[in-house]
Amino acid sequence: MHQKSLVELAADLRSGACSSEELTRACLQRIAEHDGRLNSFITVTESQALAAAQAADAALRSGKAGPLTGIPFAHKDIFCTNGVKTSCGSRMLDNFIAPYDATVTEKLHEAGAVMIGKTNMDEFAMGSSNETSFYGPVKNPWNDTTVPGGSSGGSAAAVAAGLVPASTGTDTGGSIRQPAALCGITGLKPTYGRVSRYGMIAFASSLDQAGPFTRSAEDAAIMLGAMAGFDPRDSTSVDRPVDDYRAQLNEPLQGLRIGLPGEYFGEGLEAGVGDAVSAAIEEFRKLGATVTDITLPNTHLSVPAYYVVAPAECSSNLSRFDGVRFGHRAENPQDLTDLYTRSRGEGFGDEVKRRILVGTYALSAGYYDAYYLKAQQVRHLIRDDFMQAFRQVDIIMGPTAPSVAFKLGEKADDPVGMYLSDIYTIAVNLAGLPAMSVPAGFSNAMPVGLHLVGNYFEESRLLNAGHQYQQVTDWHTRTPQGFE
Amino acid sequence: MMAWETVIGLEIHSQLATKSKIFSGASTTYGAEPNTQACAVDLGLPGVLPVLNEEVVRMAAMFGLATHSTVAPRSVFARKNYFYPDLPKGYQISQFELPIVHDGYLDIELEDGSSKRIGITRAHLEEDAGKSLHENFMGKTGIDLNRAGTPLLEIVSEPDMRSAKEAVAYMKKIHSLVRYLGISDGNMQEGSFRCDANVSIRPLGQDEFGTRAEIKNINSFRFVEQAINYEVERQIMVLEGGGEVVQETRLFDADRHETRSMRSKEEANDYRYFPDPDLLPVELDEAYIAAVRESLPEMPDAKND
């Protein structure tokens, strides 16, 4: 059961080969067996999941079921879930029971999907290895001495290990695509504005976007179809119809124009990763795509611009965690300043504090123009690079991450080294484009991700390309040892 | 003895008479039990987002057109960052570089019957904070967030007033205007209409402005007059005693009829304004502005002409 795709499980539910309750119990069993080792869940919502599964079974019997009805999945612990702890991986929110549902939570619930728990993540989504979580690091199912990537590491590891067929994540600078690559699964970051941010705890508001983790592009199409859509509660969500992603999966790739940016294949790229990506691109050529070298000349500015914009926005977004209304509150504060400084000092971890400090500095009087404004100008340059490229090509491809999963602790004391693991993914967030990572082979026995970047609202094209690639390759069906 | 000239500019906060708050659907009705009119958005819960109440845009545009101002085709909400317990998000959503209304004027009548033109620098939209309640909590402070998110129009004048009487005349004129337009109830007891006064003095005939003090949160015409007159006397005494006026924020004590230092320029917050990424810029086309112009009642000044 745990090796089946979401599509296969949906067929089983429809045919009566299994019930949602059986499926849900099987997932709970897998979590009980394996998650002690992986640490991918912060909260398992067993009783709510079983109740939801029974409701789904009733819907299935009455013929009112959609493609997600009865499918168990996990939410990254950044989405507010009514009545359930929503920690954001932080001690600050260890005691926070969300009193409302995020729009994404609501939509998946309405689609009949069964939430089985909340997954581990870097604290407030700040990290690329899942090591900044208050709840301890997540282990990569392919090798438990390595990281699963981050910040959505728990969601990626849980799908890779077959604990759930699908999960949600958020991507501010690569937090869906990089862990998808490192764990050997499919992960999609939609166009900024495609999925509502309401109820998703903000890290960097102008960059954050939610998306799915699945075992295949086809499954991702189904998940995205349920998650996407205009939301009047999010002013940055875009009022535009949602494509029927699944209906467009089978378009032939004949004539698809692929662009390879020279900047993504240079120094710093692990040889084995480069080889796997080249082999994947060869497969696309065989499928009828044409491949062109392109250039994204401002790529080198993306990491510096990101590490101004994201911390600046986070420094303001995280001000609400002050110990006054919810979250961690210092004991016996002497006065207001003591309440603030100790509540925040105790509640936040080092990486979060680092980014709040950097962001506060970048917005300070006298520095705003030199940092924040300059970084916003760089965003325009980066966006223009992509727009220029999309006049020539349909999809930009490259490696998702410069290396396979690195060792736990290897970059924990090297923030800049850690930041560079998102070097290929960050520009996409700065431009607000959709992008996806699909499994594309192995390097040193660890999974490699192929990164596909599309033009605005062209999620369909990415999913179509990913699906066609997955029809002629089987990397996405591989299972880590010990989780067969 | 030297002759001094008083220079005054006012920042008037006028609560807009909407049914719901500026960024949430919660009611703005005054006087409810504490914290019964604060929804998830007003509480600043993790994950919530603001959605602009379009009614406030219409009201601001009415004010702009009625004061011969430019109604900006594009204005931007910005975050003003500071920590205070009655400010739930740790920032106030306001407008900074690009306000919705700018560069207008209003004519006031002076006691001698002549009229004087007072420039309006800008008027911007912002949300109000909650209230801190210091009584009846056994030494602790209570927070009431009913007022958090109530829409305000902050109307900033040029430093064009030369006496407390002129300041009061201007404030009264704005007060009657917002009530006439139906965009504010102007209820000063309930705090729906209040002002900060920037006061400085300079030797008569000097072009340069003196150092100013800002007197915060004055909520009656009488107090505006008293506060300014006290402040002018205080500054004259400081300067004539050989001292210097320091740039600072002062509070008016209505019981003692005096202003007191609240914080100096050095203690002032760096608000780290930046455009709020949760809200889109407000873009108004000519048709919208023309429709608002059509909806304006006939102006009292025009009637007098």
Identify any residues that bridge with A293 across adjacent strands, giving them in sequence order. Answer: A260
- Residue A64 falls in the annotated catalytic set: no
Is residue B268's pLDDT more than 80? Answer: no
- Residue A189 falls in the annotated catalytic set: no
Q: Which of residues 331-390 of A touch B (CB under 8 A)?
A: 336, 340, 360, 363-365, 368, 372
Q: Rounded distance, CA A482 to CA A185, Å? A: 17
- Residue A343 falls in the annotated catalytic set: no
Dihedral sign for Cα atoms in the order B23, B26, B30, B34: negative
Residues A164/A38, Cβ–Cβ less than 8 Å? no
Residues of chain B above pLDDT 70, percent = 97
**Reported confidence tier of residue B1, pLDDT bands at 50, 70, 90:** low
Is residue A98's pLDDT more than 80? Answer: yes
- The reply to whether B278 falls in a domain is no
- The reply to whether B260 falls in a domain is yes
Cα angle: A13, vertex A17, A20; to 5 degrees = 40
pLDDT in tens, B50-106: 999 999 999 999 999 999 999 999 999 999 999 999 999 999 999 999 999 999 999
Q: Do B81 and A363 touch (CB under 8 A)?
A: yes
Q: Do B90 and A100 touch (CB under 8 A)?
A: no
> Which residues of A are less than 8 Å from B270 in CB distance?
364-365
Q: Do A365 and B45 touch (CB under 8 A)?
A: no
- The reply to whether B61 falls in a domain is yes
Query: Which residue of B43, B278, B283 is the best one to mutate when testing the A interface, meaning the one whose CB has the most A CBs within 10 A?
Result: B278
Determine contact: A193 vs chain B, CB below 8 A: no
Per DSSP, the three-state class of A114 is strand
The pLDDT of residue B303: 47
Domain that holds residue B202: 4-268+290-304
Query: Which residue of B23, B271, B274 is the best one to mutate when testing the A interface, meaning the one whose CB has the most A CBs within 10 A?
Result: B274
> Which residues of A are less than 8 Å from B46 in CB distance?
80, 86, 88, 93, 96, 98, 201-202, 320-321, 326-327
Q: Name the residue of chain B whose CA is nearest to A371's CA.
A: B274
pTM: 0.96
**Reported confidence tier of residue B269, pLDDT bands at 50, 70, 90:** confident
Is residue A416's pLDDT more than 90? Answer: no
> Which residues of A are less than 8 Å from B89 in CB distance?
319-320
User: What is the count of structural domains for chain B?
Assistant: 1
A200 phi and psi angles, rounded to 5 deg: -100, 120
Q: Rounded distance, CA A170 to CA A180, Å? A: 12
Distance from CA of A405 to the nearest CA of B (A): 30
Q: Rounded distance, CA B97 to CA A463, Å? A: 42
Determine contact: A92 vs chain B, CB below 8 A: no
Counting other chains too, the contacts that A242-245 makes at CB distance below 8 Å and 24 or more residues apart are A242/A194, A243/A457, A243/A459, A243/A460, A245/A221, A245/A459, A245/A460, A245/A463
Please compute the mean of the pLDDT values over residues A289-296 and round it to a whole number: 98
Please compute the mean of the pLDDT values over residues A263-289 and round it to a whole number: 96
Helix H, strand E, coil C: the string for A183-199 is HCCEEEECCCCCECCCC
Q: Rounded distance, CA A125 to CA A119, Å? A: 12
Residues of chain B above pLDDT 90, percent = 86
Q: Do B88 and A372 touch (CB under 8 A)?
A: no
**Reported confidence tier of residue A83, pLDDT bands at 50, 70, 90:** very high
**Residue with structure tokens 């009846």?**
B136
> Which residues of B are less than 8 Å from A97 in CB distance?
none
- The reply to whether B274 falls in a domain is no
pLDDT in tens, A433-472: 999 999 999 999 999 999 999 999 999 999 999 999 999 9
Q: Name the residue of chain B whose CA is nearest to A102's CA.
A: B47
Q: Name the residue of chain B whose CA is nearest to A334's CA.
A: B140
- The reply to whether B168 falls in a domain is yes
Task: Enter the tokens of residue B204.
Answer: 């008569």
pLDDT in tens, B101-116: 999 999 999 989 999 9
Domain ranges of chain A: 6-254
Q: Quick check: bond before A278 cis, omega within 30?
A: no
The pLDDT of residue B31: 87
Active-site pick, A40, A151, A343, A460: A151
ipTM of the complex: 0.96
- The reply to whether B190 falls in a domain is yes
Is residue B305's pLDDT more than 80? Answer: no
pLDDT in tens, A335-345: 999 999 999 99
Please compute the mean of the pLDDT values over residues A322-326 and round it to a whole number: 95
- The reply to whether B282 falls in a domain is no
The pLDDT of residue A260: 98
Task: Enter the tokens of residue A288.
Answer: 């009828």
- The reply to whether B280 falls in a domain is no
The pLDDT of residue B302: 54
Q: Name the residue of chain A whose CA is nearest to B84's CA.
A: A336
> Which residues of B are less than 8 Å from A319 in CB distance?
81, 83, 89-91
Task: Enter the tokens of residue B230.
Answer: 């006290």
The pLDDT of residue A165: 98
Q: A6-254, superfamily in CATH?
A: Amidase signature (AS) domain (3.90.1300.10)
